[in-house]
Amino acid sequence: MEDEIEKESKECSDLNDDEMGEEMEREEKENLLIEKNTLWSDLHISRPLLKVLYELKFENPTYIQKDVIPLALEGKSILANSETGSGKTLAFVLPMLERLLYSPNIKLRKENRKSVNITKALILLPTRELAMQCYDVINSLIKYSPITCSLFCGGIDPKEQENEYKKKKDIFVCTPGRILDLLLNSSNDFIDYLEIVIFDEADKLLELGFKEECLKILDVCKFKKQILFFSATLTKDIKELANFSLRNPIFIQSENKNKDDKNKQTNKNLKSFKISENLHQEFLNIINEKYRKATLLHLCNEVYKNHCIIFFKTRKETHLMYILLKLLDFKCEELHGLMSQKKRIESILKFKNQEVDFLLCTELASRGIDIDHVKYVVNYSLPANVVKYVHRIGRTARIGKKGTACTFFLPKEKENVKKIIKGVKKNNNSKIYKRVISEEKILHWDSIIKKNKNKIKEILENENVEKEIEKSNISINKIKNLITFKDEIYNRPKKTWFISSKEKSKLRKMNFKNGIMKSDGYLNKDREEKVGSNKPNEDNNNRSKKHNSNDNTKNKNKNKRKLDDEEEDEEDEEQDMKKKLKSYRSIIRDLKLNILPNKKDKNNKFKLNKKDENDRKGDFKIHKNFNKNKGSMNKKRK
């Protein structure tokens, strides 16, 4: 294991913060991501945007921006792959804004003449934080132009979002769940006028939870609009989806100037993982699980003293470490899914404004979040796969800056570490180091943790009491509202949901069993068999015959029956979910076809044509008898 880590590298001793800074300064190289021979004006960027770019001190474009912007301005659909922190956001935002500046409506606005509000661009991002970040970038770039932008994501009052939706601003920046909610429960006529659809962090969007939503949006938009896919990691799902939804897509893989191969625009030569060459990667072997916290405390106190993001596997781990660091007077904030939207924004702003030294977070912050001053990333637990590892460490060493990433692992996780190292080494020339910490320092911090155990328990108990009080207050307010606003609540039209939370959790389990873990490259053949199917071993019957006792045979038969019953239940659940998904697809299609007003009938906005009514009735009949007549279903649809 040590030989694997130390290949092409030296063994890294325990360094303090000053020594690490000096070492990074000594190794400082010129920015390899920026194309200094190319100017923004060479990419045909107009004056209002150029003015903002120079104000923000973006003097030259990066390689990905240089490659993407000219093609995007021509209206071509693109699938782009570039390392984290290479400037992908500007690569799709700038050509989008440039195209919008020349649209007729915005030209009329420039001349102070009346114009119709029409949404021309839709940007989809996987998390609220990324959506807000992208929204802020666009607002800073449209400073000297009449372009307008709206943000749609969870954590914001739905009524406010509906009012904003009706304004039909030029650009919609949104998360898939919220925009689908608005599409289903209000008019979706803006889709016909869309010109650009952008998927940022495309692989994350197509993961569990958002895959079906993205398919529905693409089903509406495909073959009509310019569609752009951007991500630091490209999976088979993205490539298949791009081939399905794009006409003659261009595949762009950005390379820096040190590499001999030029940008290749073929699907076969696409690389999966891109890592900055300025990133200093370290792996730290923890002898025992109980010393994990002590190891982190030592690093926070001696090595990574500030500008550090720490990633945890679970929300519980994140919160426990946050309490411990607070007790020991470390300046830190936490970020995870259980926090309200206001608290999430506050914690990110505090870290951005350098009010705190450490940001403790889950995978929520591993995608696309761009904070300039991040020097260090610590993986408190080993990431599940290479993709997650790449996105976590990509929060540092952005736009050619230096950065350090340290990953903790246990002796039993050595095989997984080897797979991560191989995945990283395949496509990158980055060096990997081993960090060593003396036992005395770890034991010192372990004793401090033991002294504070009772205090941590007290804080957790108080928090649980506060949560219970909050829950009771919320339930009381709900009852009061039901009594006072009873008529209004019951007269509201019922919302249609694309998919419920329960169904989402079932889908996750189904996809997990159908081989998502296999793609991670972690599973052995034995483990794959267990994940892929819960069938009992065929040798059980032969083994039972060898045993003479009747008790053993009875127990084995019972176990077999249980396993068979579980299999049947799971198969039934999977079939039910597949039926529901197919019915959802047809309903969405029907809504898409029939939700627009009929031009002939001005008074009756949502009147259906006779053909549409017949098609719709036929579809619902098919869904009732889906399993019985698959052939008749295809005939009716044709």
423-473 pLDDT per residue, tens: 887 656 667 899 999 999 999 999 999 999 999 999 999 999 998 998 888
Question: pLDDT-based confidence at 508, cuts 50/70/90?
Answer: low
CA 188 to chain centre: 25
Calculate Rg over the CA atoms of the chain.
28
Q: 497 by DSSP, 3-state: which?
A: coil
User: Measured between alpha carbons, how far is 316 from 346 in angstroms, rounded to an integer?
Assistant: 20
256: nearest Cα among 32, 92, 479, 421:
32
Single-letter residue type at 507: L
Q: Using a pLDDT cut of 70, give the percent of the chain over it.
A: 64
Q: Which CATH class is domain 40-253?
A: alpha beta
Q: Which of 289-298, 488-497, 522-531, 596-605 has the lowest mean pLDDT?
A: 522-531
DSSP letter (8 states) at residue 317: H
DSSP assignment of 433-474, as one string?
Answer: EEE---HHHHHHHHHHHHHTHHHHHHHHHHHHHHHHHHHHHH
User: How high does pLDDT run on average in the chain?
Assistant: 74
Domains 2-28+278-451 and 40-253 share a fold: yes
User: pTM of the full predicted structure?
Assistant: 0.60
pLDDT attached to residue 370: 76
Q: Tell me the range of 149-153, 201-205, 371-375 where mean pLDDT is highest.
A: 149-153
**Residue 202's pLDDT is what?**
78
193-207, 254-268, 328-342, 450-464: least confident range? 254-268
Is residue 282 a contact partner of residue 405, using CB atoms and an 8 Å limit? yes
Q: Which of 26-35, 281-290, 398-407, 596-605 has maximum average pLDDT?
A: 281-290
Calpha distance 425→283 (Å, rounded): 14
- Give the sign of the dihedral formed by CA 46, CA 47, CA 50, CA 52: negative
Instruction: Between 630 and 578, name the one with better pLDDT.
Output: 578
DSSP string, 80-92: EE--TTS-HHHHH
The three-class DSSP label of residue 596 is coil
Q: Return the H-helix or E-strand segment holding 105.
A: helix 104-110
Residues 512-544 pLDDT 10s: 555 444 334 333 333 333 333 334 444 444 444
Q: Is the pLDDT of residue 600 over 80?
A: no
Dihedral sign from CA coordinates of 312, 315, 317, 320: positive
pLDDT: is 252 or 12 the higher one?
A: 252
Please say whether the beta carbons of 134 and 93 come within 8 A.
yes
Residue count of the chain: 638
Which tokens in the block code for residue 309?
A: 């993001």
- Type of residue at 482: L
Domain boundaries, the chain: 2-28+278-451, 40-253, 455-491, 557-637
State phi, psi for 339 to the nearest 5 degrees: -80, 150
Task: Return the minimum-mean-pLDDT range out of 66-70, 389-393, 454-458, 611-615.
Answer: 611-615
Given pLDDT bands bounded at 50, 70 and 90, which one contains residue 564?
low
Q: Which residues pair with 309 in a beta bridge?
A: 359, 377
List CB contacts of 172: < 8 A, sequence separation 6 or more: 119, 121, 122, 123, 149, 150, 152, 179
Edge-to-edge strand ranges of the sheet holding 149-152: 149-152, 171-174, 121-124, 196-200, 226-231, 78-81, 250-253
Strand order in the sheet with 279-285: 11-12, 432-435, 279-285, 403-409, 376-379, 308-311, 358-361, 332-335
Mean pLDDT within 530-559:
45
Determine the pLDDT at residue 364.
76
What is the pLDDT averaged over residues 560-571? 54
Residues whose CB is less than 8 angstroms from the CB of residue 126 and which lie 6 or more positions away in sequence, other chains included: 175, 176, 201, 204, 205, 207, 210, 367
Tokens of 561: 């029956």
Q: Give per-residue burial for 427-450: e unless 16+ CB within 10 Å, then b.
A: ebebebbbbebeeebbeebbeebe
Q: How many helices (H) and strands (E) does the chain have?
A: 27, 15
| pLDDT > 90? residue 37 | no
Whole-number Å distance between alpha carbons of 38 and 70: 12
Whose tokens are 């970020």? That residue is 335
Distance CA 85, CA 405 (A): 14
Find the DSSP H helices in 127-210: 128-141, 158-167, 176-185, 202-205
Distance CA 40, CA 319 (A): 44
368: DSSP letter: S
Q: Any idea what DSSP says for residue 528?
A: H
pLDDT at 150: 94
First to last CA, the chain: 59
* Neighbouring residues of 27: CB distance < 8 A, sequence distance ≥ 6: 402
User: Encoding tokens for residue 323?
Assistant: 């309490």
Say if strands 171-174 and 149-152 run parallel, antiparallel, or are unpaired: parallel
Residue 376: strand pairing partners: 308, 404
Residues 6+ apart with CB under 8 A from 301: 445
Is 80 exceeded by the pLDDT of residue 310? yes
Query: In the predicted model, is pLDDT for residue 194 greater than 60?
Result: yes
Domain 2-28+278-451: which topology? Answer: Rossmann fold (3.40.50)
Please state the rounded mean pLDDT for residues 72-92: 86
Least confident of 276-285, 330-339, 603-612: 603-612
Share of the chain above pLDDT 90, in %: 30
Strand residues in 196-278 grouped as ranges (E): 196-200, 226-231, 250-253
Q: Stretch 149-159: mean pLDDT, rounded?
A: 87
Task: Return the DSSP state at 40.
Answer: G
Band (pLDDT 50/70/90 cuts) for residue 295 is very high
Cβ-Cβ contacts under 8 Å for 591 (sequence gap 6 or more): 184, 188
> Which of helix, strand or coil describes residue 408?
strand
In angstroms, the CA 231 to CA 581 distance is 27
Q: pLDDT digits over 105-124, tens only?
A: 888 888 888 888 889 999 99
